[in-house]
């Protein structure tokens, strides 16, 4: 039987690492892609030993010119056949818009949008030739509406939602199922974990841990669900977006994120 691989970007930590583990538990061979300096070799060996799956890795900065093409070429040169592409890599920022530099926002947009689109473009033709294939893009509850104090991040995730849903429709009559997962806040940054756990117990109720998000997302992806809402907050905010007037929604979101 021919070996297929799941390619996960941003796989060295957070949701990406949790997704890699979840896929390995399901017997999926893995291709791990992350920044240079991340301990991908150690992670690959660990997954192979624990779950008996083939695991290879590639260090690259996806914001660099031609990086998505280099990832695709790496898979072709090594004969890795991809049947699942998980575009997880991303970055964010919180606080007033002017807090971050123009170069920081440029990097964020290149990673969150351009790298995702180009990776999908390079792999899509090959995916369509398979009996069954999947694409999972990482969105957020911020995909639903504009978010002051997370302006650029939220805008990139809105782009990802629009792109995913349009691509899903284009590929409706093909073997490729396209999904987006839109979790609420996730405990991934050690500083954020410590801050919220020590100072705000109520907020903890709305936070997810990466293994839960990964497990829920992969299960829904395999079922072909379009928009995956992993938690109560994500579902409530989605309904809120549909029901409440834009002005009222914007006031609520602004107050929440100004406080945080």
Question: Would you please indicate which residues are annotated as catalytic (active-site) residues?
Answer: 153
Distance CA 190, CA 179 (A): 28
Show Cβ contacts of residue 129 under 8 Å, excluding neighbours closer than 6 positions.
none
* Per-residue tokens: 214: 């990964």
Distance CA 229, CA 163 (A): 17
At which residue do the structure tokens 């624990």 appear?
A: 50
Distance CA 204, CA 197 (A): 7
- Whether 164 contacts 180, CB under 8 Å: yes
Instruction: Give me the residues paired with residue 54 across strands.
Output: none
């Amino acid at each position: 039987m021919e070996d297929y691989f799941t390619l996960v970007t941003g796989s060295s930590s957070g949701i990406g690492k949790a997704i890699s583990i979840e896929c390995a538990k399901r017997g999926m061979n893995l291709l791990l892609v992350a920044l240079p300096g991340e301990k991908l070799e150690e992670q690959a060996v660990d997954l192979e030993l624990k779950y008996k799956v083939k695991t290879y890795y590639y260090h690259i900065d996806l914001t660099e010119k031609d990086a998505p093409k280099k990832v695709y070429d790496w898979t072709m040169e090594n004969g890795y056949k991809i049947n699942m592409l998980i575009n997880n890599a991303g970055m964010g920022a919180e606080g007033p818009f002017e807090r971050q530099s123009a170069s920081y926002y440029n990097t964020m947009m290149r990673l969150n949008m351009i790298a995702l689109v180009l990776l999908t473009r390079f792999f899509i033709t090959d995916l369509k030739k398979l009996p069954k294939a999947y694409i999972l893009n990482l969105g957020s509850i911020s995909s639903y509406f504009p978010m002051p104090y997370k302006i650029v991040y939220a805008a990139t995730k809105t782009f990802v939602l629009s792109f995913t849903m349009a691509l899903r429709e284009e590929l409706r009559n093909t073997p490729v199922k396209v999904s987006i997962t839109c979790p609420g806040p996730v405990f991934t940054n050690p500083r954020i974990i410590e801050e919220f756990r020590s100072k705000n117990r109520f907020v903890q109720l709305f936070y997810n841990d990466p293994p839960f998000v990964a497990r829920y997302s992969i299960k829904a992806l395999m079922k072909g669900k379009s928009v995956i809402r992993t938690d109560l907050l994500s579902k409530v905010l989605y309904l809120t977006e549909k029901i409440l007037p834009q002005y009222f929604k914007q006031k609520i979101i602004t107050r929440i994120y100004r406080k945080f």
